[in-house]
Amino acid sequence: MRIVVCLTQILDPEMPPSEFRLDPQRKAAAEGIGQLVVSIFDENALEVALQVREHILERKGAPSDPVEIVALTVGPPSAADVLRKALSLRADRAILISSEGWPPLEGAIVARLLAAAVRRLHPVDLVLCGRETGDWHGGQVGSFLAEELGWASVSFVSRIEVEGETFLMRRQSDEGWEIVRARRPAVATITNDETNVPRLPKVRDTMLAARASLPVWTIPELVEDPHTLWETSARVAVRELFIPSSSKVCELIEGETVQEKAVRLLEALRRRRML
Amino acid sequence: MRTVMVLLPTSRIERTEREAIGAARALSREWSANVQVALIAPTAEGIEGLRGRTEASSDVSLWIAAHPQLEAYSPELYVSASEQLITRARPEVIVFPSRTIALEIAPRLAYRIGAALATDVIELRAEGEAVVITKPVYGGKAHAVLVAQRFPLVLCVRPRAFDPFEGELRAGTPHDLQIACDPSSVRTQLVQRIQEDAAAGVSLEEARVIVSGGRGLGGPEGFRLLEELARWLGGAVGASRAACDAGWVPASWQIGQTGKKVAPDLYIAVGISGASQHIVGISGAKCIVAINTDPKAPIFKVADLGIVGDYRAVIPALIAELKRTHAGSSGDRPGSSPEEGR
Ligand SMILES: Cc1cc2nc3c(=O)[nH]c(=O)nc-3n(C[C@H](O)[C@H](O)[C@H](O)COP(=O)(O)OP(=O)(O)OC[C@H]3O[C@@H](n4cnc5c(N)ncnc54)[C@H](O)[C@@H]3O)c2cc1C
């Protein structure tokens, strides 16, 4: 069984807001203000893939159909870092789809490129993507990819079990969770829960991953007439980005004792008609 | 005449659905378009939350695309039903509420019909022929202004960002639409539903008061304290992603960018640092109280009131004080039912 995990590189979403700056020309976050990391839900997706592989191994010992995990990313050469991260967590292979020299990417184009790569990797049984990227929160690439491939797809999945020719996926609903059975091959977009918190790599694996050679696939290798990707793509244009202003002043409740603070907080809330 | 269509894959119209209609209506007024609300449901009967459906004065018309095959939700059938509605009505703009089902359908529909897609929309206006969209990016650290000039355009509007439509819904003609469902296209099947109960029985979306806990609680026990405080305040309990990921509380309690978007009168953040991805989920709160040991925590930048201190001392003191003042009035514990709970 082959599982493809799609990863993308983003500006560290946990960087302090006080250091956040914009680049008005690029209409994006300024370069160099923070680390570049694997988008958080993509890390959850890789974790889910690793767990699927472990469960199959536990169940069958040495299975006749071993699980192979392939990490894919579309991006500039620097995006290779996310692939090395995936290898350090023991993905079996990692491939960079290089966008160097091409216009900026957007969801539908990324999905077309990923779909072409998945077809090239045939046979693939399962493709995992994060539910949304941690920078633009588009929430679309996984679903676009499923449409492009014409596969079953389930969104907001936190856990996957293999059952015969199907996958049992635990998906988030507005009320809790649902177990959904999906036919193979399938695409799932991954959300977080307590079972898929990304593990940490071992030092030795990180060192091995740093030295691994990464195959690079180019866009013309994957799609015919790549320029039409940009011409035909339906999209909205970015006019500008701005940092929303907040002018709140917090009233800190003081007091000699914690009881006093509690009394004063409740008083302040009553004054504001909150209680 | 242009058309803005609100697609509601549900049999129940709640505030989140009314907000999507509100967003569509605000746009349609500036853009001289008409608004069609289309429900996708197993039957046209027993739709909850409809008000005065046959009222002729409303500028919002209602269509119901019903098919018994839609009883169990399947993305394949719901995407196909949406596509059929759009082929018929040819709307320029399609608006979805940000429910999990809608968030699954919207991108697939957009791709299928070759439409542009914007999710997490918090502002919407017309500018000549174009539609101008605002959405938070970088976890809410920035807002992006997007311009759509090609249609159709699919939008998912963020809960608690638009005023809900409170008017009547007028039946379209014919208001019950025939759609085809092809069961052989179904590739996914619902096996089981696992309901996660809201803490203190109050749903986060409807709650007037929310007490929310983060990693600073240090473990699940801390949430028992928050639950007790929430009961005294008649509120619900929420959490940060860190607390959910730790397994201390169910993931459905998560508030923020990828959790629930809430708009209570009072939001008490306990042991939550105030990451932008959390704050974007509470931008509708009227009053934010922060309780945190770290006076430099970013939460104090967005809070109205704050106590710097250990929650293990502050929360029991608040509960004791509520008990004391309450004993003075009625003696009994306060009720915990929200105005519009379910
Ligand atoms: C794409 C994306 C989506 C995300 N979506 C969400 C989301 O929906 N919701 C969400 O919450 N997060 C979300 N996050 C994660 C978010 O960035 C933060 O990591 C998270 O909110 C941090 O949770 P926290 O405040 O509980 O933990 P921390 O940041 O670790 O804060 C803990 C706080 O507790 C305080 N504390 C410690 N001990 C005590 C004590 N005894 N008493 C009082 N205070 C104490 C500390 O001073 C600290 O401020 C998302 C991130 C990404 C990248």
- Lowest model confidence (mean pLDDT) among A77-91, B15-29, B129-143, B194-208: B194-208
CA distance B297 to B307: 12
Higher pLDDT, A248 or B209: B209
Higher pLDDT, B322 or B53: B322
Tens of pLDDT along A128-179? 999 999 999 999 999 999 999 999 999 999 999 999 999 999 999 988 899 9
Q: Looking at the domain B199-341, which fold is it? A: Rossmann fold (3.40.50)
Mean pLDDT (chain B, rounded): 90
A42 pLDDT higher than 80:
yes
Residue to substitute from B79, B108, B111, B150, interface A, most A β-carbons within 10 A: B111
CA distance B289 to A252: 10
* CATH 3.40.50.1100 is right for the domain spanning A2-233: no
Amino acid code (one letter) for B153: L
Q: Which residues contact B154 (CB under 8 A, 6 or more apart)?
A: B93, B94, B96, B106, B107, B109, B110, B115, B116, B117, B118
A193 pLDDT higher than 50:
yes
Which residue is listed with tokens 């519009």? B340
CA distance B4 to B92: 6
Q: Do A192 and B303 touch (CB under 8 A)?
A: no
Size of interface A-B (CB pairs under 8 A): 252
Q: Work out the end-to-end distance of chain B between its first and last CA atoms, rounded to an integer number of angstroms.
A: 39
Q: Which residues contact A151 (CB under 8 A, 6 or more apart)?
A: A127, A185, A186, A187, B187
Tens of pLDDT along A196-205? 999 999 999 9
B170 pLDDT higher than 90:
no
Higher pLDDT, B340 or B89: B89
Point out the residue among A41, A138, A183 whose CB comes nearest to the CB of B187: A183
Which residue is listed with tokens 């691994």? A212
Q: Which residue of A has its CA nearest to B190?
A: A180
In contact, B94 and B109? CB cutoff 8 Å:
yes
Q: Which residue of A has its CA nearest to B303?
A: A250
Higher pLDDT, B197 or A247: A247
CA distance A36 to A82: 9
Which residue is listed with tokens 């976050």? A29
Kindly state the average pLDDT of the residues B41-52.
Answer: 81
CB atoms < 10 A from the CB of A264, how many? 17
pLDDT of residue A257: 97
Q: pLDDT band at residue B199, thresholds of 50, 70 and 90?
A: low
pLDDT of residue B175: 66
H or E segment to which residue A6 belongs: strand A2-6
Altogether, the residues listed in chain B come to a count of 342
The CATH 3.40.50.1220 portion of chain B extends over 199-341
CA distance B37 to B168: 12
DSSP per-residue letters across B224-281: HHHHHHHHHHT-EEEE-HHHHHTTSS-GGGBBSTTSB----SEEEEES----HHHHGG
Q: Do B307 and A265 touch (CB under 8 A)?
A: yes
Residue to substitute from B105, B155, B188, interface A, most A β-carbons within 10 A: B188
pLDDT of residue B337: 42
Give the mutation target among B98, B248, B278, B310 for probing the ligand 1 site: most ligand atoms within 8 A of CB.
Answer: B278
Q: Which residues of B touch A263 (CB under 8 A)?
A: 321
B276 pLDDT higher than 50:
yes
Q: Do A258 and B309 touch (CB under 8 A)?
A: yes
Give distance in angstroms: CA of A275 to centre of ligand 1: 26
Q: Is B248 in the pocket of ligand 1 (CB under 6 A)?
A: no
Q: pLDDT band at residue A63, thresholds of 50, 70 and 90?
A: low
Give the mutation target among B245, B292, B310 for probing the ligand 1 site: most ligand atoms within 8 A of CB.
Answer: B292
Tens of pLDDT along B211-267? 999 999 999 999 999 999 999 999 999 999 999 999 999 999 999 999 999 999 999
Q: Do B303 and A16 touch (CB under 8 A)?
A: no
Higher pLDDT, A46 or A275: A46
pLDDT of residue B341: 35
The tokens for B159 are 């809960």
pLDDT of residue B48: 84
Give distance in angstroms: CA of B278 to centre of ligand 1: 7
- Burial class for A252, CB neighbours closer than 10 Å (0-12, 13-18, 19+): middle
Q: Is B80 in the pocket of ligand 1 (CB under 6 A)?
A: no
DSSP A245: P
The CATH 3.40.50.620 portion of chain B extends over 2-185
pLDDT of residue B23: 97
Q: pLDDT band at residue A21, thresholds of 50, 70 and 90?
A: very high
B331 pLDDT higher than 50:
no
CA distance B123 to B120: 9
ipTM above 0.90, yes or no: yes
Q: Which residue of B has its CA nearest to A272?
A: B287
pLDDT of residue B201: 67
Kindly state the average pLDDT of the residues B58-75.
Answer: 88
pLDDT of residue B171: 64
pLDDT of residue B342: 35
pLDDT of residue B338: 41
pLDDT of residue B333: 52
3-class DSSP state for residue B297? coil
Q: pLDDT band at residue B336, thresholds of 50, 70 and 90?
A: very low
Q: Looking at the domain B2-185, which fold is it? A: Rossmann fold (3.40.50)
Q: Is B259 in the pocket of ligand 1 (CB under 6 A)?
A: yes
